[in-house]
Structures are given as structure tokens and as C-alpha cells.
Amino acid sequence: MSRAEDPIVITGVGAVTAAGVGSDALLDALRSDRFCGVSWGGALPIEHVGACRDSVPSHPDFPDDRKADLAFSAAREALDAAGGWEHVAPDRRAVFLGTGLSSVTPAELESDLYPHLTAEGRFDRVAMARDLSTDRGAPRRHMPARVTAGLRLELGAHGPSATSFSACAAAAQAIGEGLRAIRRGEADMALVGGHDSMIHPLGMLSFVVLGALSPSRCRPFDGRRDGFMIGEGAGMLILERASSAHARGARPLAVLAGAGSSVDAWNATAPHPEGLGAGLSMKRALRDAGVAPEAIDYVNCHGTGTPLGDRAECGAVSRMFGRNAPPVSTVKGALGHTIAAAGAVEAVASVLAIRHGFLPGTVGHGSLDPELTVDVVGAARDTVPEYVLSNSFGFGGQNCSLVFAANALQARS
Amino acid sequence: MTRMRAPYSPVPTRRRVHLAAWSLFCSSGIGSDGLTGGGPGKVPGFKARSWVKDRKSLKLMGRSVQLGVAAVKAALDGVPGWEEVPAERRGIFVGASPQLGDPDDLSYALNAASPDGVFHLRAFAERGIDLIHPLWLVRGLSNNVIGFASAFHNLQGVNANYCDGRRGGWNALTEGFQAVAEGRADIVVAGGADAFVGAERLLGVPCGEGAAFLALRPAQPDEPAIELGDPAILQGIDDELGYLGAAAAPVAWVRANCSA
């Protein structure tokens, strides 16, 4: 069967975000334009963080590892929603995840680093390494692929797998990898997504010193925007062929129609000012999906709320779609920026938008920056998007866009 | 709604893939000098300034990124006329580990956080932050090889960066190969870079550093095509050169396949 006749569909989603544990919590927050940030009582010059307030089950094999807990929770939800994958041979189950820098916990900062600071203001690295090597959890917590490996082990997935690390584009890249693995026939089902939490002292201060965090509120596409709210989360999706889902009676939630990636090739620390790479990744995703720009009903923007990032992305959207550009929004105003998980959380949001017939609003957006020429969805709109484009752009200039579609659903429901 | 025909067939037309050039940086040397011998340790004679002229960029690169950026350049330098390939059709696939950064970058901030000899998180946030380099986080990103190499060589095409330990470099090779075979790029540099010298005590094994990249493009009818083969090629490379992380598979592949 051709790609159009037997598309890759999503049969389960899972999410843990500032909205809470579960994709239902995310749906509720997005439909009601709820700001999910919590007040930050620490000394850093920020007012809110997008932390998940719900209790997230702790995984016994990953002590003190927030990112792992987020990932396992979302993965279990996605797989349960899809009806499991026990019917698929282990070597036909794939896992592709995106992740970010390791979590340096306050305990590590205080116990592993500080005691080894010498009177000369340098670190005694030998003592530091010796100390770390006695804590079995510490080195493991810094291995980016630990969660991918843990999920493969727990879920009996012996098929293709990879851990993408491309900053804020990581999860979207991982979803694209899963799509290609199934297209090539290398796997029958794939768990794809991403997980990240930079809500820890070193994580947050890293973005503070970069000047990326808003000291007050994230205001995407607004003339007053001054950065994002740091968030945390995980998003997971189950991919399989429509024919396979149909055969076992699983109901597809949406179609993953295409993926495209690009590199800005501009600067390792700043986006291309005109969104060159952003435009390329959107163009490639559309071409991969086999849809024309005018078919897109909604763009789920990367939309971090930084002055440079929003300008570059909106410029690329305007050039790509011209006068008939579809409405755009970003969920980062509501949830915060989940960094490496962003592409997956926003993929789940896109699927929910298709499934439940609405466009998420842009929480925090007040008035459009006069330099931007896009139609911003301020408050959530009830409408059924048939094609959704979701963007993720990362430090280092790596970009990835995904196209989600509803069209195969009508044919099969 | 307007639909356009999908440009690819469901399983893209496979093209034969040609190994246009390769690069190798390991403890036995750089390029063909490194094909045999060597042991755990540093790449001898590697001077990052010889490969990266931009001092400002160099300051933002950790050792593994310097090795990776140099190896990408060396691979591309071996392909005559690669600049004629449109920038959008130049891909890059990399296996690399994140670099947690130099802990000394935090030392002033930690000192400021302990006025009474005891570490205070609040003091760290209030007084320490301003003492940390603004790009401290960025320096540690695993995808810095792609960030810098793409900017230097205008590589705007398909890409991926993998953080799967020793498997990362193999993933980069296979996905880079697939990108050419499926027609998603006309030239791809694929490989890995890592640097673990100094981490022996933590990892408990002899460590090395290195980088190797393949420059891949569609084979012309009169050119030989390659297949990547089996990841079993990795076996023994740690014993030979020490733990190389994501560089292990690309280094092993080049040493096994390019010595003729």
C-alpha cells in the first residue's frame, strides 16, 4: 500500500506537564487557556516556573531522577492508551526519545562539587571523581540515554532505538526518526517522544545567565516579550501503520504525515535572524507529508517568547504561507518551555487539537508585536484542524517540523 | 484544501552510496597516520587552532567539539567540489556526548555562595550567577559539533545528533547513510566525536579521545558503492584505544575499512 493508503498513525499519547499528570490534564489546560506556572520562591530573578505540581511516581531504578520519572509516566500512559504492544514481537518495537542536559541536583551541587573547592578557588578533580564514583546513581543520572535504555528494558523493546540530543528540537527529531523507522519497515510500533526538566539550580541559572528567561511572564508574539518561563515535562506517542491499528481494532488519534529537519548554519548560539532554517524545516515537513502550504490549518509554533526567536519564526511563517497564513499559537505561555521535551509535548497538544477540534490559545499574549505579521490565536478556538504543523527549533541551529493530519481518520472511522 | 502529490514513493528509491572521503583523529595519529597502532590517550599533535581559525568560536568549544569540528572539515576537504552541492542538500549526522563543562567555570560562583564556609543555595543564586560565563550552558551541549560545523561549512540539510554512548556514532553513520540512500541529501558527513581522557578514575576503564567522519554521497555508475556492515565492528576498539564513547564506531569503521 502507498503512504497515502496506509499512513503512520498515532494510537496513544501520554503527557506530564505543568498542567498535571496525563494528557487529559493537558487537554483541560489548553482548552481553558489556563496559565499553569507556579510561583518561584527562590532567589533567581524569575516569578514562575512551569513545574508539574501533581505527584509523579518515582521509578525505583532511577533514584532522584526527575527526567526519568516524567518519561516513564508519560510512556506508560501512551502505551496503555494504545492498548499495549504485546502483540508485536520485541524486535519490532522501537523507542526513539529526545532528551537534554543532565539534571544536576541541589544535593550534587552541595555534596559533590562544593566540598572539593580548594582554598585556591579551584576544584580538586581527583577527589571529586572519587566521590562521584562512590555514588552509583550520580554517573548514571548524567547519561542521556539512560531513560531510553530503561524504557527499552521495561517495555521489552529490542528493535531500533536512538536518543536525540538537539537541544529544543530533540523530541521532534526523535518523533521524525520513529516515523522513518516504521516507513522503512524496520519496526511495527514505535514509542517516540521526549522528556526534560531543567527546573534545578544549575539548569535554571544556565538560562538566567543567557538572558533567556522572562523575569515576569512569558508573552509570546507580544511587543513586550522578554523571554520564556522554564518548564518541565514529557510527551510520548505510539506510532504504527494505519493498517496495523485497524487490524487490531485500535482507534487512530491522528496521522503523523511528515517530518522535516534543517540546520540554520548560522551561529551555534543564536537563531538565523530571518528564520532561514525554520523555513527550510517547515518546507521539508510539508513536502514529506505531501501537502501544500495552503492545506495547513494551524501552526503550533516553537514560540518561546524571546525577542529574536519569535521574530525569526514568524518571519519564516509569513514567507512560507504568504497572505493566507494559517493561525498560529504556542503552548509555552501556558506550560513553560519544556526544552528537549518541547517537540513531544507540542506533538501531543497537536494531536489533542485534531482529536478534540480546537486550536490552543497563546496564554500570556496581549497585543501583537507590530513587527510580526501572523494571526495569533489568543484564546482557544473551537474549530477542527485537518492539518497541523508543529515547529521545534534548538540551540545549535537544529530545527524540526512535524505535520499531523486528521484526514485518514474519517476514512477509517 | 489543496494537496500536492507526495514527492517520494512510500519506500524512497534507494540510491547506491559512495564513500567520498573520510577523516580520522585518534591516539595513533590523524588521517592515514592513525589507521594502525595507538592506545588509550590523546590525539597526538592535535592543535585546534590549525582547524578552527575563529578564536571566539574556539573558546566555546570543548575538546570533543574541537575534535569533531576538525574531523568534519577534514572529511569535507577530501571531497573535490563538495561546495557545489546546494547548502540545503548538505546533511550532517553526529554522535557525541554532552560535555558537562569545566567545573572550574563554577568555582567563583561557589566561592561567592559560601561566605561562612558553608554552601548556601540562595547565596549561590544571588551572588554567584553573575560570576558564571553566560554561555556556560551552551558550551556543554552535545550538538555543538553540528552547531559549529554547519555554520562553518553552510550545512543546512537533514541532520541528527545522537547521545547513545558508544551506539551514538553508529546511529549517526547509519542514519547519514540512509539519508543519502533515500535521496534526502546529496552529501552527508556522518560520524562521531568524544573526549574522555582524564575520566579514567570515574569510568574505571582506560579512556581515549577521537573523532572520525565519513563523507557520503550518491555513487555514480562507475563508482564503488559501500554498505556500512555490522556494528560488531566495534568489538575490541575499547581494548585498543580506550573508551571513546560516540567516536568508537566511526573510528573503528575507518580503521577497518580504509586502510587499503
| Cβ-proximal residues to B116 (8 Å cutoff; 6+ apart), any chain | none
Give the integer Cα–Cα distance in Å for A183 and A1.
11
Rounded Cα distance between B130 and A36, Å, is 29
Count Cβ atoms below 10 Å from residue B80 Cβ, excluding itself. 9
The reported pLDDT for the residue numbered B201 is 73
Range of the domain at B44: 17-31+40-100+140-257
Q: pLDDT band at B107, cuts 50/70/90?
A: confident
In a domain, B5, yes or no: no
Q: Which of A206, A210, A263, A291 to mutate to test the interface with B (most CBs of B within 10 A)?
A: A263
Grid cell, residue B65, equals 567539539
B4, part of any domain: no
CA distance A334 to B197: 44
Q: Do B217 and B131 belong to one domain? A: no
Residue A267 CB-half CA count within 13 A: 8
The domain made up of A8-102+143-412 has a fold known as Peroxisomal Thiolase; Chain A, domain 1 (3.40.47)
Examine the domain organization and report whether B105 and B59 are in the same domain: no
CB neighbour class for A324 (10 Å; exposed up to 12, middle 13-18, buried from 19): exposed
Active site residue A337: yes
Question: Which CATH number goes with the domain that contains B238?
Answer: 3.40.47.10
Does an H or E element contain B159, and which? strand B159-162
- Exposed / middle / buried, residue A413 (Cβ in 10 Å: 0-12, 13-18, 19+): exposed
Is residue B66 a part of any domain in this protein? yes
Percent of chain B at pLDDT exceeding 90: 65
Strand A232-241 to A189-197 pairing: antiparallel
CB A153 within 8 A of CB B228: no
What spatial distance separates the first Cα and last Cα of chain B, rounded to whole Å? Answer: 56
Nearest C-alpha of chain A: how many angstroms from B53? 15
Which run of H or of E encompasses A401?
strand A398-405
User: Same structural domain for residues B166 and B84?
Assistant: yes
Distance CA A122, CA A280 (A): 45
- Compute the nearest-CA separation of A26 from chain B (Å): 29
Domain count, chain B: 2
Report the b/e string of B48-70 with b at 16+ CB within 10 A: eeebbeeeebbebbbbbbbbbbb
- Measured between alpha carbons, how far is A33 from B217 in angstroms, rounded to an integer? 48
pLDDT tens per residue across span A268-309? 778 899 999 999 999 999 999 999 999 999 999 999 999 999
pLDDT at residue B6 in the model: 43
Residue for grid cell 531522577: A65
User: Is there a single domain that holds both residue B92 and residue B112?
Assistant: no
Give B 68-107 residues with CB within 8 A of chain A: 87-88, 92, 96-98, 100, 103-104, 106-107
Contacts of B139 in chain A (CB under 8 A): none
Residue-level pLDDT at B232? 80
Closest CA to B123 of B137, B103, B109, B104: B109
Which positions in chain B touch A206 (Cβ < 8 Å)? 136-137
Helix or strand holding residue B216 (H, E): strand B209-218
pTM, full prediction: 0.93
From the candidates B104, B163, B174, B202, which should be mutated to test the interface with A, based on the most A CB atoms within 10 A? B163
B22, B146: one domain: yes
Q: Looking at beta carbons, which residues of chain B come within 8 Å of A264?
A: 150-151, 156
Q: Is residue B151 part of a domain?
A: yes
Record: contact B137-A126, CB cut-off 8 A: no
Q: Half-sphere exposure of A347 toward its Cβ, with a 13 Å CA cutoff? A: 44
When pLDDT is averaged across residues B81-85 and rounded to a whole number, the result is 97
Chains A, B: CB contacts within 8 A come to: 227
* Chain B residues lying within 8 Å of A265, measured CB to CB: 87, 150-151, 153-156
Spell out the domain ranges in chain A.
8-102+143-412, 106-140
3-class secondary structure, B1: coil
Distance between CA atoms of residues B159 and B168, nearest Å: 14
In a domain, B6, yes or no: no
How far CA B122 is from CA of A38, A119, A159, A165, in Å, comes to 19, 21, 46, 31
Which residue in A has a C-alpha nearest to residue B87's C-alpha?
A: A265
Regarding whether B82 and B109 lie in a shared domain, the answer is no
Q: What is the ipTM of this complex?
A: 0.92
- Output the CA torsion sign for A288, A292, A294, A297: negative
Instruction: Determine which one of A302, A314, A365, A400 is catalytic.
Output: A302
Answer whether residue B2 is part of any domain: no
Q: Which of A48, A272, A337, A365 does the annotation list as catalytic? A: A337
Same-domain status, B154 and B205: yes
Does the residue B127 lie in any domain?
yes
Would you say residue B164 lies in a domain?
yes
- Read off the pLDDT of residues A367-382 as tens digits, 9 standing for 90 and up: 999 999 999 999 999 9
Check if A200 is active-site: no
Show residues of chain B in contact with A144, CB under 8 Å: 97-98, 142, 163-164
What is the distance between the alpha carbons of residues A200 and B62, in angstroms, rounded to a whole number? 23
Same structural domain, B154 and B246: yes
Q: Are residues B230 and B152 located together in one domain of the fold?
A: yes
Is-catalytic flag, A168? yes
Parts of chain A with a pLDDT under 70: 1-4, 103-113, 120-123, 125-126, 128-141, 407-413
Do residues A170 and A193 make contact, with C-beta atoms less than 8 angstroms apart?
no
User: Do A81 and A254 meet the contact criterion of CB atoms below 8 Å apart?
Assistant: no
Do B96 and B116 reside in the same domain of the chain?
no
d(CA A319, CA A322): 5
β partners of residue B91: B188
Residue in B196, B19, B29 with CA at minimum distance from that of residue B96: B196
Cα(B111)–Cα(B121) distance, integer angstroms: 11
By Cβ distance, the residue of B6, B159, B201 closest to A261 is B159
Residues B91, B147: one domain?
A: yes
Q: Is the pLDDT of residue B7 over 50?
A: no
Query: Are B10 and A205 an interchain contact pair (Cβ–Cβ within 8 Å)?
Result: no
Measure the CA–CA gap between B208 and B14, rounded to whole angstroms.
37
More confident residue, A309 or B12: A309
Paired sense of beta strands A161-164 and A93-98, if any: parallel
Q: Do B129 and A208 touch (CB under 8 A)?
A: yes
Reported as a single tens digit per residue, the pLDDT across B133-153 is 777 777 888 899 999 999 999
**Statement to judge: residues B185 and B231 lie in one domain:** yes
Which of B54, B97, B162, B207 would you mutate first to test chain A, the one with the most A CBs within 10 A? B162
